[in-house]
Amino acid sequence: MRTVFWENNQLKMIDQRILPGRFEVLSYTDHVSVARAIKDMVVRGAPAIGAAAAFGLALAGFESASSSTRELIADLQAAAHTLKAARPTAVNLAWAVDRVLLSLSQRERGWGEGDVDYIRHFVLSEAQRIADEDVEINKRMGEHGAALINDGDTIIHHCNTGALATVDWGTALGVIRTAHEQGKKIHVFVDETRPRLQGARLTAWELEQYGIPYEIISDNTAGYFLKAGKVQKCFVGSDRTAANGDVANKIGTYMLALAAHDNGVPFYPVVPTSTIDLSLAHGDLIPIEERDPEEVLGLEFHGERVAPKNAKARNIAFDVTPNRLVTGIVTENGIVYPPFEINLRKAVLGEQ
């Protein structure tokens, strides 16, 4: 099933906070609750967040009691502001919401006062189109990226980039899944990905569903295996990639990239072109989310809180990997190699 989907006039999403212990699907009927679900990480992963936000905008349309086109569009724009504020780093969130609003504004014959109900369904159809396209894009990235994987490879993967992080299939984990389905024998080292443990909880759970061999490792173990020659490739996702190929991804990605570079191991972010932000010249311009310190301080070991009672913490959610550490970027339009400033633009805009 899909991570994010529309059913019975409701947005439904797998609750990723409680996996792998429990599998539950939550229902949403208003856009404010969707924004809260994005912020609270009921749904996470840049593509999944984008689709959820687009469906949230559709809910806003059905919530609105406006009987005029002008008022309804104003309500949609207000809802868009609420949804886009939920999480700042993942560019797909704003991209998806803005894409729906742009489609509304570009309708050739404009909107008459009798088009209110039609607008509501138009927004929903645009959201559904974004969701459907995400699945197709992921499968195309899977095919391109799987060509980089050899039979017998061991791969390090950080965070979760599978079906749970997208509408379906996945980005970096989708590449690994595609290689597995092609019959390649592969093994995956799964970074725990502290503090929320998306690797240990979500990626490990997904790999079990696919029958792909894996072992969970603590985040600070990756360097050991890379130096020991036990790893052939690193695949990660991206929440936003700048025009020069700097990659913002889950915290810990930068350290993994440094260790991979120092040991000559190829490092590949898997990035739908919707996640490439050509408006940002470099990664230092990417807004970085800092989350509640309790996500760090609340960690327990054998049922006991790890940190002292009065401890303080910083909880940076993402870091930026500079392009010099990136071997190539896998997109739905092929694998992009340096110089990224030129070739990413070609991949996104179709320039020759």
Catalytic residue annotation: 239
Q: Rounded to an integer, what distance in angstroms lies between the CA atom of residue 249 and that of residue 158?
A: 9
Under DSSP, the state recorded for 40 is T
Q: Rounded to an integer, what distance in angstroms lies between the CA atom of residue 231 and that of residue 122?
A: 48
| CA quadruple 329, 333, 338, 344: dihedral sign | negative
Cβ-contact 189, 226 below 8 angstroms: no
Cβ-contact 186, 155 below 8 angstroms: yes
The contacts of residue 224 (CB under 8 Å, 6+ apart) are: none
Look at residues 118, 107, 116, 182 and name the one whose alpha carbon lies nearest to residue 144: 182
The contacts of residue 310 (CB under 8 Å, 6+ apart) are: none
Half-sphere exposure of 290 (CA within 13 A, CB side): 4
Half-sphere exposure of 327 (CA within 13 A, CB side): 21
The contacts of residue 55 (CB under 8 Å, 6+ apart) are: 4, 6, 11, 34, 124, 127, 131
Beta-bridge partner residues of 241 = 247, 276
Task: Extract the tokens encoding 119.
Answer: 């607008």
Give first-to-last CA distance, the chain, whole Å: 38
Q: What is the CA radius of gyration of the chain?
A: 20
